[in-house]
Amino acid sequence: MPVKTYWLEHAWLGTHVEPGVALEVAEDGRIAALRTGVDAPPPGAEVLRGLTLPGLANAHSHAFHRALRGTVQVGSGTFWTWRDFMYKVAQNLTPDSYFALARAVYAEMALAGITNVGEFHYVHHAPGGAAYADPNAMGEALIEAAAAAGIRITLLDTAYLSAGFGEAPNQHQLRFSDGTAEAWAERVSALKPREHALIGAAIHSVRAVPAAQLATVARWAEERQAPLHVHLSEQTAENDACQAAHGRTPTQLLSDHGVLGPRTTGVHNTHLTDTDIALLGGSTTGTCMCPTTERDLADGIGPATRLQQAGSPLSLGSDSHAVIDLLEEARAMELNERLRSRTRGHWTANALLAAATADGHAALGRPEAGRLEAGALADFTTVALDSVRTAGPVARLGAETAVFAATASDIRHTVVGGRHVVRDGAHTLVPDVPSALAAAIAALRA
């Protein structure tokens, strides 16, 4: 017997919008049944007005970067000057302050319809590099923060061992480094998954993990069948340095050391050669595009269409959290490509929503999420179709309306495991998310 029934006024079912859908949730927090053609709410059903989508997957997050919003917009600069300010914020984090900030950030994500986050986590130790009494205190803070905010997390524990090719970590990076990939693997092996949290791995970048140690990280992920993510060719400077050090591109270096494959996701994949694209697509290595960060940092526009055509699945992330809005990420991927190519229609709204849902969850190790169908996790979100942005189009164009008109402000409900986390635009676990964000960020300035 279902423990709860939701009646969806309209539901996106992957290929089309269906009116009048009854969704039954089982005791295990999965969808027990989905019935279409239900014109009126069944007795006792909870009514969700608007367009219900599978929960959105934020496949790339650095939670503490949320403290940079606004501040790093003063004046001009480059990625590298932005990075200097980021280091200053990272230095002030403690397990307690990181929990408070991440809880608020993940609550903001829930308000934006995100039910699962991939946290690319590299602030492991105390300033100066000394381990906490619990060497995973910072990662545990993030896992608990996600629980407190009511969303799922894949903690992508990140190997970050050097400042550059052959360079020791600088003073800011000491707290990121475990010294060696073997020491990283020993520490991360103590982290345990739980119902809302999976443990994955990440290579920060080819400049931050020596080539001889890349295989250690890849092997750890392979043995556990865990997701493996890596920042890849985000900056041309990294490409140039890799060529100087190894005589090959970052993608070729990763391929040579067994990092690429279907459980691996390259984040950004911006500055690639034809050979790089063929290597990524041929190995079905995923691509996580983060358009709002890539444009904020003036990184460039990655070849997403060519990557997907070559066989690389696409997912989306909010990365530095210049904004937290997966609908905007989906829209920006298409609109960026329009600006570059001066043609329209590279992806349908259905394809963009797939990147924001099913493909994003798969990149985070949860292929059972991201679909409204029996057996899937009962994680979903509802977009208002009657706001000033979304009013007007007919309901059957709900996917187009969501992608090309709606914003995070139009999220009305978010449900995780069959339970409301956001109801009528209000978070049920964090009563005042703006105040929580303001307090957590102010504490890092003290």
For the four alpha carbons of 196, 200, 206 and 207, in that order, the dihedral sign comes to positive
First to last CA, the chain: 53
Q: Which long-range contacts (CB under 8 A, 24 or more apart) does 219-224 make?
A: 219/258, 220/185, 220/188, 220/189, 221/263, 221/264, 222/263, 224/199
Catalytic residue flag (residue 379):
no
Catalytic residue, candidates 319, 325, 359, 379: 319
Task: Compute the chain's Rg from CA coordinates.
Answer: 21
Residue 205 CA to its chain's centroid (Å): 17
Catalytic residue flag (residue 268):
yes
Catalytic residue, candidates 65, 268, 346, 413: 268
SS (HEC) of the chain: CCCEEEEEEEEECCCCEEEEEEEEECCCCEEEEEECCCCCCCCCCEEEEEEEEECEEEEEECHHHHHHCCHHHCCCCCHHHHHHHHHHHHHCCCHHHHHHHHHHHHHHHHHCCEEEEEEEECCCCCCCCCCCCCCCHHHHHHHHHHHHHCCEEEEEEEECCCCECCECCCCCHHHHCCCCHHHHHHHHCCCCCECCEEEEEEECCCCCCCHHHHHHHHHHHHHHCCCEEEEECCCHHHHHHHHHHHCCCHHHHHHHCCCCCCCEEEEECCCCCHHHHHHHHHCCCEEEECHHHHHHCCCCCCCHHHHHHHCCCEEECCECCCCCCHHHHHHHHHHHHHHHHCCCCCCCHHHHHHHHCHHHHHHCCCCCCCCCCCCCECCEEEECCCCCCCCCCCHHHHHHHHHHCCCHHHEEEEEECCEEEEECCEECCCCCHHHHHHHHHHHHHC
430: which 2 tokens?
């964090």
**Positions marked catalytic:** 268, 319
